[in-house]
Chains A and B, each alone.
Chain A
Amino acid sequence: MKHERRALDAAAPIRRARPRGKPLADRLLGAFTLLAFGFILAPIVSIIVFSFNADRFPTMVWGGFSLRWYEAIWNDATVRAGFWRSLRVSATVSVIATAIGFATAYVDYRWRFFGKTLYLAVATLPPTVPILVLGLAMLSFFSTIGLVGTLAGVVAGHVVICAPFAMALIRLRLADMSPDLEPAAWNLGATRWATMRAVVIPFCRPAIFAALAITAAVSFDEFMIAWFVGGFEETLPVRILAMLQGQVSPRINAIGTIVFAISITLVAAAQLLTARRARHEEE
């Protein structure tokens, strides 16, 4: 490879035969890709770096390393309370949404029935509705059934948008399960429940873990429904929204970094589980 490139440089004016290589075009493409990733990752890097900046004014000037913003949020009772609320909400949401997502994925995998398209539309459409519209709809509906101002209301709303993601992940996994596997178990005398426990759920386990992680992360970051429905039960993102609307402060960076550190652990876990699946498939 190295040798080839040197030869090319030496013979720059000579045009190379076309199809293979195309190093210049490739390098341009690679450079463009790097730029695009720079754009995607710039805010994330900025959050982490400037959470350690001592300077209180939100400029790009480095004022020295400091943990003062971490100290500030540690001592901020509203941030701590919001964090715990978010944690409770996202843990509850991930379990319920993954359970519903699994059931829906299994129904899609196992049965054909009249109205299935409609059923799947109801189960998968929520993420295509703007979350702000959902927030308003839930605010008006939940206020008639006493769910406004409660974390239960936030959970109910978050499960709506999270369950389709869980369903998609688990459905993808089920697509790899041989349709003969279950009938084999049934023929051997296993009940449908026993088959579910001993065959289907173990087969889906990596996707179930991935779904738990991703739905937890989506719920943890969601602020529109939480803002509209939660009332005074402020979750962490709602607190951040309030901070953005008020006195902007580098404390937001510190919160962002901590949340990122927690989430990335979840992604890494989910990625490991799906990567193991992918490798298994490649073999």
Chain B
Amino acid sequence: MLAERRFRRRRVDPFAVLWASPALLWQGAFFLAPLGLLVWLSFWSLRNFRLIPDFTTANWDRILTRDFFWAAFQHTLVISAVTALVASLIAFPVAYFLAFRARAATRRLAIFMLITPFFTSYLVRIYAWTIILANEGALNLLGRALGFETANLLSTPTATVIGYLTLCLPLVVLIQLFALSNVDRDLVGAAHNLGCGPLRTVLTVVLPAARTGLVIAAAFAFILAFGDYVSPVFLGGSRPPTLSILIVDQTRSGNHWPRAAVVAVVMILTLIAVLFGALAAAYGRRKGAA
């Protein structure tokens, strides 16, 4: 009766199959199949605006030999990495404060406020930033009132990063907070008792203990920024274009799906590489004390 009893002969349990199949069928039909087709689509050809199933590398040759593609690739990679780094650096003191210093009630309220952004439209929040960052926006008015030289932030990479942070910062704080909450308090106390200063405790005890969560948080920030289309368009002014902008241009205006598929496959491959790197960093052999 119990499938998990290993001393019994392995036999397919219809009850287990029944529970396992919904995810398999749905994700097979609407996740794996589309992704599989996407990969194949990058080898199709386009004649007279009609897609023809094919095995040509023409799309790959065309995209991979263009400078604008590599410029976009590099720009997307760098700006996503910067976002992951900035988000991690901003989030850590916040998560540290909430995990170790704040009262339980404050922490609960903070978590509630961190979840709230997920329930507000990302598009509308980006629209709000276009107003705040505009030439006559709140930030510049405040800056001028304080006597600063102001500049138009809109249509700059800085604005794009602000948009990315809007998307990923709450999630990064939440994951870091979760990671820090699981750090053994006795370890921190022991470090204090042995005369270890607060900063050194953070660097030598807390950071290594929470490493997995911190790396995963940064990886999520990278993934979200890498794939986002809205921030680079509406805050960054599409200049320079990111890979996501290339895809949308090729799909919606250019109507060249196979070329868009090439860019998409490159994005997936890049993310797989980054994910493996992150997993190695998160779970790999730990240097120094365990």
Contacts and interface: CB of A to CB of B under 8 A. Distances in A.
A132 B28 contact: no
A65 interface: no
Interface in B229-274: 229-230, 234, 244, 247-248, 251, 257, 260-261, 264, 267-268, 271
A136 B117 CA distance: 26
Nearest to B112: A271
Interface stretch (A8-16, A35-43, A68-76): A35-43
A174 interface: no
A94 interface: no
A157 B121 CA distance: 19
Q: Which of B29, B31, B97, B102 has the most CB of A within 10 A?
A: B31
Contacts of A128: 223, 271, 275
B124 to A, nearest CB: 3
Nearest to B101: A26
Residue from the set A18, A128, A218 with the largest chain B CB neighbour count within 10 Å: A128
Contacts of B257: 136, 139-140
B96 interface: yes
B3 A113 contact: yes
B90 interface: yes
A259 B119 CA distance: 8
A134 interface: yes
B59 to A, nearest CB: 13
A64 interface: no
Residues of B contacting A: mostly: helix
Interface string A227-253: 010000000010011001000100011
B30 interface: yes
B3 to A, nearest CB: 5
A46 interface: yes
A259 to B, nearest CB: 6
A110 B124 contact: no
A267 B115 contact: yes
A190 interface: no
B227 A37 contact: no
A178 interface: no
A89 B245 CA distance: 27
Interface extent on A, as a size class? Answer: 35 or more
A79 interface: no
Given A244-B123, A271-B112, A103 B4 contact: no
B141 to A, nearest CB: 6
B69 interface: no
Interface in B108-134: 108, 110, 112-132, 134
Contacts of A267: 112, 115-116, 119
B20 A140 contact: no
Interface stretch (B33-41, B203-211, B281-289): B33-41
A58 B33 CA distance: 44
Which one of B1, B35, B110 has the highest number of Cβ atoms from chain A below 10 Å of its Cβ? B35
Interface in B3-56: 3-4, 13, 15-16, 19-20, 22-24, 26-35, 37-38, 41
Nearest first, the 6 A-B pairs at minimum CB distance are: A130-B227, A256-B124, A263-B119, A43-B128, A141-B34, A137-B34
Given A26-B97, A123-B24, A126-B27, 18 more contacts: A25-B198, A32-B97, A44-B125, A46-B138, A107-B23, A128-B223, A129-B227, A137-B34, A163-B27, A244-B127, A252-B123, A256-B124, A256-B125, A259-B120, A263-B120, A267-B115, A267-B116, A275-B108
25 contacts: A32-B97, A33-B97, A37-B110, A46-B128, A46-B132, A46-B138, A58-B131, A60-B136, A96-B26, A100-B26, A104-B23, A111-B13, A129-B35, A133-B38, A134-B34, A140-B37, A141-B34, A160-B31, A221-B120, A221-B121, A237-B121, A237-B123, A240-B123, A267-B115, A267-B116
